[in-house]
Amino acid sequence: MKKLISSCLFALFFSITTQHQSVSGQQYDKLNLDSQPLSNKVCATCHGSYGVGNPIVGGPSLAGLEPWYLKRQLEGFRAKHRGNETDYVPGNEMQVSVARLSDNEIEEVVSFIATWKPVEPEQTLSGDANNGSALYASCAACHGINGMGNELLGAPALVGRDDWYMARQLKLFMSGNRGGNPDDVYGQQMRAGVQALGSEQDINDVLAYINTMN
Amino acid sequence: MNKFVSRRELLSLIGKTGATAAVLKASTALGLVPETNVQFPDIPSVNPANRPAVVILGGGISGLTTAYELDKAGYDCVVLEAAPKAGGRCMTVRSGDLIDEVGNPQICEFDDEPHMYFNAGPARIPSTHRNLLRYCRELGVELEIFVNENKEAYVQDDAMFNGKPIKNAAVTTSARGFMAEIMAKNFTGHELDQPLNQYEAESLLSAIRSFGDLSEGDVFKGSTRSGYAHGGFIEHGVQKDVADFSELLKTDFMRMILGQNEGETGPVLFQPVGGMDKIVQGFTNKLEGKIYYDVMVASVNLNNGDGVEVTYEHKGMKYKIQADYCFNCIPSHLMTGIENNFDDNYIEAMRYVRRGEAYKSAFQAKTRFWEKDDIYGGISWTNQKIQQIWYPPHGVFKDKGVILGAYDYGGGMHFTKLSQEERLETAIRQGQKVHPEYRDQVEKGITIAWHRMNHMLGCAARWARNRDGMTADEERLYRTLQQPAGGRHYMIGDQISVHSAWQESAILSAHWAINDMVKRQSGISTMPGQKLS
């Protein structure tokens, strides 16, 4: 079960409710988040409220993603570098969802998502974290020894991300479904890097190790 | 060398292809008419000075039913709906309407006429769905007969008659004729091991002959039931040629066609005059000021067995609401992405339910070209991806009409994955195999891929993952999600039924939840103030 780490948003509420007070007459507490209806409509249905993620519809958590990385991925989906795999519907859905977004709208969505509080990542996989630690050595060059990422190298943080989502992405990089497009420079780097992982067990092991960094 | 089959084996084999209801009991899911033991809610009126607060998440049919019934009994209800209109999948599309598919929003460009609408979700009401019919009567929703099966509509399969469409009547009469012939020729009460006396045996034989319209000597020589090639009124009719039975055996359509006239899709079916969403309007008219639109639920949390707290967003503002009870028809697969404090079993159950994938598309027809072909309402069947073409039973003889151009009711994502242009082009190309004039006749196509509809992301929920029905584990998960979380939060909707995809199921899920709440409340004082002794 995923919960918002931060409750400060809700702490601002004050309860005015008494038992059996009229629901329709309740003076609801308001908090202007200066939100963009676009972000709400476009993202929340699949990625959950405030980007907490929803694995049931294949929507990874978005809260806490670096804005520069998020922007690049939205542009990647729009350019059809991502989401082309024929056997995975959520990827296709993401592609069509952003196909009509303008540059301004992407900026708008990214800056709105940046206001969402990071969530605890889903940890669903089990693997050998010791073996994963050894495998991670080749990841650390770009993603950092603590998995915090490195914007200069275009490598996002790995801590804070859902393991089921990272497992899927590693497989996509391996098959070339992600990172196979010559215009996707960073994806190509990652595709080359991921060849260090030989098997599904390796993927589970390295993700088990990344889970320990959270 | 082919093995000869015994009569009994043959009858059993015929049963598998769908010949007789006697052999074929409960063969298809659609053929079942479920009975219900859920009582119509009898809700004790609440004290106006002490009205329980109820928040209903989602304005689908189950949410509206709950709000309507509890409001009548004096409960203080609000409905929070994510979309700009209520109804959920009970959706009718007309001129100017938005089809809010994620990534593929469409505006319907049909002519603005009362009969030019498309029921994108439920489109037929079986006469046995008595709770839905009761609401139609109570809410003043005018009904008309819906025609599901039409013997003048077509059946088309690329494997049969070189892909040429043939009339449904030709399939039916031929299939029944040949099957009856086999049965009659081989029939004796004794050999069937049936405890029949002579009279009963003759009666059965006579029914078999009539079933297949057999000629003298129990031979099938065709039937005028499929119409005449020509003549029949002033000149003597000339019977049509018999549709070659061996051709029919090349396809799956005998089973499909012969099963359509029974069960929930058998006569009599209804549709509301002017569109299925007249039912939604019937409810919303009674719930004025109680439904809030464009509301995105952000969290649902139980308050230690003492009510439910819901937060939501509306136009960039955030709100909190406290209620004694929460009835929730948000699709369970979306609820898993909304913050909550439900227990692990409940969440496990929510996560298990599969999203439905049904797809429909529709066209405006420039003329009612099907009427020139003696078709008024009903369905043509094809083995192509579009599967069905529906003709409107209403608006007969008007200039134009709206036809259903594709209905993928099963597990196919074929159309959903295509672009809007590809979806429509595919529907036109495949429709041409049934009606050669199709391409020239249809325009202004719309598509509804329920798997991608905003705020829903799925059609009817599916609990069972195999065709044999629910496993014991699935039954456990289903019962878990049916029970109220913390005694206060009820999941409702056709997702909380074993017979999803019907409005009746949504209504009954609401009735079940309301009855359960009433039962749990019994013993609670209805007097104002706190009970002291």
Note the pLDDT tens digit of each residue in B306-339. 899 999 988 888 899 999 999 999 999 999 999 9
Residue with tokens 């099957």: B179
Residue (of B420, B447, B413) closest to A87 by Cα position: B413
User: What is the pLDDT, as a whole number, of residue B103?
Assistant: 81
Average pLDDT, chain B: 89
The verdict on B299 and B432 lying in the same domain is no
Percent of chain A topping pLDDT 70: 80
Start-to-end Cα distance in chain B:
86
Residues of B in Cβ contact (< 8 Å) with A47: 337
Among B408, B397, B403, residue whose Cα is nearest residue B434 = B403
| B245 and B162 inside one domain | yes
pLDDT per residue as tens digits for the range A18-37: 334 456 555 443 333 333 34
Q: Are residues B239 and B172 in the same domain?
A: yes
CATH code where residue B413 lies:
3.90.660.10
Lowest-confidence range among A32-46, A74-88, B186-200, B228-242? A32-46
Of B289, B336, B413, the CB nearest to A56: B336
Residues of A in contact with B51 (CB under 8 A): 20, 22
Domain boundary among B421, B452, B483: B452
Percent of chain A with pLDDT over 90: 56
Q: Tell me which of A11-25, A184-198, B45-59, B488-502 is least confident.
A: A11-25
Q: Are residues B397 and B492 part of one domain?
A: no
Range with the lowest mean pLDDT among B86-95, B259-268, B374-383, B420-429? B259-268
Residues of A in contact with B455 (CB under 8 A): 45
Same domain for B345 and B365, yes or no, is: no
Q: Is residue B43 in a domain?
A: no
Contact B298 A42 (CB under 8 A): no
Q: How far apart are CA B188 and CA B192, in angstroms?
A: 7
On chain A, the residues whose CB falls within 8 A of the CB of B71 are none
Chain B closest-CA separation from residue A134 CA (Å): 34
- Taking an 8 Å cut-off on Cβ atoms, the answer to whether A45 and B53 are in contact is no
Residue B215 lies in a domain: yes
Question: What is the least distance, in Å, from the CA of A9 to any CA of chain B?
Answer: 10
The domain containing residue B169 runs over which residues? 7-30+153-259
| Structure-token pair, residue B302 | 């139980």
Residue showing tokens 């309507």: B68
Query: Quick check: is B331 in a domain?
Result: yes
**Cβ–Cβ gap B457/A46 under 8 Å:** yes
B89 with B457: CB under 8 angstroms? Answer: no
Do the chains contact at A46 and B102, CB–CB below 8 Å? yes
Map tokens 């949390």 to a residue.
Answer: B301
Q: Is the pLDDT of residue B281 over 60?
A: yes
Q: Which domains does chain A have, with CATH numbers?
A: 37-119 (1.10.760.10), 129-213 (1.10.760.10)
Is B268 inside a domain boundary?
A: no
pLDDT band at A39 (very low <50, low <70, confident <90, very high): very low
Residue to test with chain B: of A45, A93, A109, A165, most B Cβ within 10 A? A45
Q: Are residues B349 and B362 in the same domain?
A: no
Beta strands, E only, B231-285: 238-239, 269-272
B337 and B483, same domain (yes or no): yes
Residue B195's alpha-carbon distances to A182, B189, B191, B202, B424, in angstroms, are: 77, 8, 10, 13, 57
Amino acid at B246: S
Q: Do B342 and A1 touch (CB under 8 A)?
A: yes
- Best residue in A23, A35, A57, A97 for a mutation probing chain B (most B CBs within 10 Å): A23
In a domain, B37, yes or no: no
Q: What are A99-152's pLDDT values in tens digits? A: 888 898 899 889 989 999 999 998 899 999 999 999 999 999 999 999 999 999
Residue of B51, B80, B102, B310 for testing the chain A interface, max A β-carbons within 10 Å:
B102
CB atoms within 10 A of CB B419: 13
- CATH code for the domain in which residue B22 is found: 1.20.1440.240
Sign of CA dihedral B475, B477, B482, B486: positive
Does B97 share its domain with B82?
no
Cβ distance A23 to B296 less than 8 Å, yes or no, reads no
Cα-based distances in Å from B290 to B71, B157, B284: 9, 50, 9
Q: How many domains does chain B have?
A: 3
In a domain, B143, yes or no: no
Query: Contact A44/B296, CB-based, under 8 Å?
Result: yes
Q: For chains A and B, what is the number of CB pairs under 8 angstroms? A: 136
Band (A86; pLDDT cuts 50, 70, 90): confident
Give the model confidence (pLDDT) of B176-218 as tens digits.
Answer: 998 898 888 877 655 555 566 778 778 888 999 999 999 999 9
- How far does the CA of residue B23 sit from the closest CA of chain A (Å)? 40
Q: Is residue B448 part of a domain?
A: yes
B401 and B328 share one domain: no
**What whole-number distance in Å separates Cα of residue B511 and Cα of residue B134?**
13
Which one of B452, B485, B507 terminates a domain? B452
Shared-domain flag, residues B416 and B509: no
Amino acid in position A211: N
The nearest alpha carbon in chain B to A25 belongs to B76
Say if residue B115 is in the same domain as residue B159: no
Assess whether pLDDT exceeds 60 at residue B2.
no
Q: Let me know if residue B396 belongs to a domain.
A: yes
Q: In this structure, is the dihedral angle defined by the CA atoms of residues B209, B211, B212 and B213, taken in order, positive or negative?
A: positive
Query: Which of helix, strand or coil describes residue A190?
Result: helix
Residue B313 and residue A35: Cβ atoms within 8 Å?
yes
> Other C-beta atoms within 10 Å of A159: how many?
18
Do the beta carbons of residue B361 and residue B406 sit within 8 Å?
yes
Q: What percent of chain B has pLDDT over 70?
A: 90
**Which of B50, B103, B454 has the CB atom closest to A96's CB atom?**
B103
User: Which 8-state DSSP code applies to residue B177?
Assistant: H
> Which chain A residue has its CA at the smallest distance from B79's CA?
A24
CB contact under 8 A, A33 and B316: yes
Extended strands (E) in B341-496: 354-356, 359-365, 378-382, 388-391, 401-408, 442-449, 459-462, 489-491
Cβ-based neighbours of B69, under 8 Å, separated by 6 or more: B41, B43, B510, B511, B514
Q: Kindly identify which residue of chain B lies nearest to residue A54, measuring between CA atoms.
A: B337
Q: Which residues contact B219 (CB under 8 A, 6 or more apart)?
A: B181
Q: Where are the beta strands (DSSP E) in B453-510?
A: 459-462, 489-491
Which strands form A31-32's sheet, in the order they lie side by side? Answer: A31-32, B317-323, B308-314, B295-302, B339-340
Final residue belonging to a domain, choices B202, B229, B259: B259
The DSSP call for residue B265 is G
The share of chain B scoring above pLDDT 90, in percent, equals 69
B363 and B316 part of one domain:
no
Taken in order B315, B453, B508, B118, is the CA torsion positive or negative? positive
Q: What is the CATH number of the domain that holds B337?
A: 3.50.50.60
